[in-house]
Amino acid sequence: MKNQETWKKRGIIRQILKDHFHGFMDMHGHHLPEGLRGTITGTVNKAIRCGTRDSGKEEKEVWIN
């Protein structure tokens, strides 16, 4: 669990997506169902922007009692 927290804080997954996702889609996107390509790209772009100030949102913790 500690490693996951460290990865999240460092933004390692976000950096991997930024560095490699669009190249992956260029090379292998044609293997994906056409109806899902836009959804997958949108979801990855959302993950890349997640937690950044330019997304207009800030991180909040939700506590459910």
The pLDDT score that the predictor gives to residue 7 is: 62
Residue 35 in domain:
yes
What digits encode the pLDDT tens for the residues 11-64? Answer: 888 899 999 999 999 999 999 999 999 999 999 999 888 877 665 555 555 566
Residue 48 in domain:
yes
Q: How far apart are CA 41 and CA 47, in angstroms?
A: 10
Q: In the predicted model, is pLDDT for residue 2 greater than 80?
A: no
Number of domains the chain contains: 1
Residue 62 in domain:
no
Residue 65 in domain:
no
Domain that holds residue 36: 11-52
Torsion angle of the four alpha carbons 8, 48, 55, 62, in this order, in degrees rounded to the nearest 10:
-40
> pTM of the entire structure?
0.66
